[in-house]
């Protein structure tokens, strides 16, 4: 593959400023698509669905057929990892994820190697998708950030994270050991994903919000740095996209301290902050409001132009600030993606 036939996503992640930014959307596969809802209805259990490479590959590819997305992201869930480490995880219909009691950390630590094997279906999904996908479209693998996964493991469900944050103060050594287990297992999981066809790796730290700076350093920055270093030590050079969602002003600290190749910005990130990161040589991804995408209308069109004008002058990947909502009309997704891929932007 010549330099210029590389997928746009990888060129942007390498720091190139392109004639137009590559585009993909978080949760582009999933409940916003009628064909997904049909596919999903064939499996009773969400976890079984994720562990079925045929179904998961089909879900991954569905948005690639509908929209001219520049990247696919493997269909999976961040809670497959704690399940593979031996904690009970289930999805109650309409209630989100539930987890059983947190096992002793030493027991989880004993399962690190086995956890990667138990996630082999995700590797198989990646191989299938990579074989089916056009070479100019990139394939992204991912995992949850250790802090986010730990909040679910500690609280047993989605929450305001106050129990997990209190845990960070009351049981600092125990939390650090849990994060170490997650760093190790996540790094192995991502190495496996890269070897199975993932060309870029994204860390979803969905609950980076509301942490004091010293806690953020301890539970987000340090573990992310360790994951990237472990993946590199395994000989994998796929670029990393770090997504510390809700990190606010700390996203700049994150970008300076973690050796990721790009930072995904959330809905709140100021345009000037994105430009500062680009000026320091950091590609950025983001950050259209998913609720504006859902709402549509002239406000959506205007905001897309604003984002393109603000960020297309540097290395940039067009995306949302959060995932596509189930209620988003596919016409809105198509309209925005068509706009981004249509032409070079005049800035």
Scanning the chain, the segments in alpha helix (DSSP H) are 8-13, 34-40, 46-50, 53-66, 80-84, 105-110, 112-118, 120-132, 146-155, 162-170, 172-195, 213-216, 222-233, 250-257, 271-279, 290-295, 298-311, 330-342
Residues that bind its own copies (CB under 8 A): 162, 165-166, 169-170, 172, 209-216, 246-253, 266-271, 273, 287, 289, 291-292, 294-295, 297, 299-300, 303, 306, 321
Distant-in-sequence, close-in-space partners of 300: CB < 8 Å, separation ≥ 6: 292, 293, 332, 335, 336
Among residues 127 and 253, whose Cβ is nearest to its own copies? 253
CA distance 256 to 221: 10
Which has the closest alpha carbon to 175: 201, 195, 149, 157? Answer: 149
Among residues 112 and 287, whose Cβ is nearest to its own copies? 287
Catalytic residue among 77, 180, 184, 266: 77
Nearest distance in Å: CB 261, its own copies: 21
Q: Estimate the share of the chain in helix, then strand, then coil, as percent rounded to the nearest 5.
A: 50, 15, 35
Nearest distance in Å: CB 282, its own copies: 15
177 is catalytic: no
Nearest distance in Å: CB 163, its own copies: 9
Provide the 10 A C-beta neighbour count for residue 213. Answer: 11
Among residues 229 and 252, whose Cβ is nearest to its own copies? 252
Provide the 10 A C-beta neighbour count for residue 162. Answer: 11
Q: Interior CA angle at 12 toward 269 and 74, to 5°?
A: 85
CA distance 39 to 59: 8
Among residues 141 and 145, whose Cβ is nearest to its own copies? 145
Nearest distance in Å: CB 161, its own copies: 10
CA distance 88 to 106: 16
289 is catalytic: no
CA distance 109 to 96: 26
77 is catalytic: yes
Nearest distance in Å: CB 148, its own copies: 16
Catalytic residue among 40, 66, 163, 335: 40
Catalytic residue among 20, 83, 128, 152: 152
Among residues 17 and 268, whose Cβ is nearest to its own copies? 268
Catalytic residue among 31, 98, 195, 303: 31
Among residues 74 and 340, whose Cβ is nearest to its own copies? 340
CA distance 88 to 214: 31
Nearest distance in Å: CB 186, its own copies: 24
CA distance 51 to 197: 17
Distant-in-sequence, close-in-space partners of 245: CB < 8 Å, separation ≥ 6: 204, 205, 206, 207, 208, 209, 264, 266, 322
Residue 343 in contact with residue 20, Cβ under 8 Å? yes
Nearest distance in Å: CB 254, its own copies: 11
Catalytic residue among 11, 20, 27, 339: 27
Among residues 68 and 270, whose Cβ is nearest to its own copies? 270
152 is catalytic: yes
**Annotated active-site positions, please?**
27, 31, 40, 77, 152
């Amino acid at each position: 593959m010549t330099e210029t036939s590389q997928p746009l996503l990888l060129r942007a992640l390498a720091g190139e400023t392109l004639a137009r930014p590559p585009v993909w959307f978080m949760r582009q596969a999933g409940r916003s698509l009628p064909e997904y809802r049909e596919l999903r209805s064939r499996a009773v259990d969400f976890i079984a669905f994720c562990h079925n490479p045929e179904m998961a590959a089909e879900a991954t590819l569905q948005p690639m057929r509908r929209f001219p997305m520049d990247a696919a992201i493997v269909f999976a869930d961040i809670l497959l990892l704690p399940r593979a480490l031996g904690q009970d995880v289930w999805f109650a219909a309409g209630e989100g994820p539930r987890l059983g009691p947190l096992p002793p950390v030493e027991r989880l630590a004993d399962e690190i190697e086995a956890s990667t094997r138990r996630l082999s279906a995700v590797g198989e999904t990646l191989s299938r998708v990579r074989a089916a996908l056009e070479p100019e479209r990139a394939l992204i693998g991912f995992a949850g950030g250790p802090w986010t996964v730990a909040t679910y493991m500690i609280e047993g469900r989605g929450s305001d994270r106050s129990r997990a944050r209190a845990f960070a103060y009351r049981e600092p050594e125990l939390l650090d050991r849990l994060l170490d287990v997650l760093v190790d297992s996540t790094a192995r999981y991502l190495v496996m994903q890269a070897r199975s066809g993932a060309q870029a790796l994204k860390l979803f730290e969905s609950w980076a919000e509301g942490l004091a700076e010293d806690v953020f350093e301890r539970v987000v920055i340090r573990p992310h740095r360790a994951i990237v270093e472990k993946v590199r030590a395994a000989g994998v050079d796929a670029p990393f996209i770090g997504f510390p969602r809700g990190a606010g002003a700390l996203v700049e600290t994150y970008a300076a301290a973690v050796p990721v190749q790009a930072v995904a910005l959330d809905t709140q990130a100021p345009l000037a902050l994105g430009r500062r990161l680009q000026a320091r040589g950091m590609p950025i991804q983001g950050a259209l409001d998913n609720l504006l995408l859902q709402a549509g209308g002239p406000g959506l069109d205007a905001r897309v132009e604003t984002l393109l004008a603000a960020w297309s002058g540097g290395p940039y990947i067009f995306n949302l600030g959060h995932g596509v909502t189930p209620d988003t009309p596919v016409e809105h997704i198509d309209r925005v993606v068509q706009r981004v891929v249509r032409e070079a932007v005049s800035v």
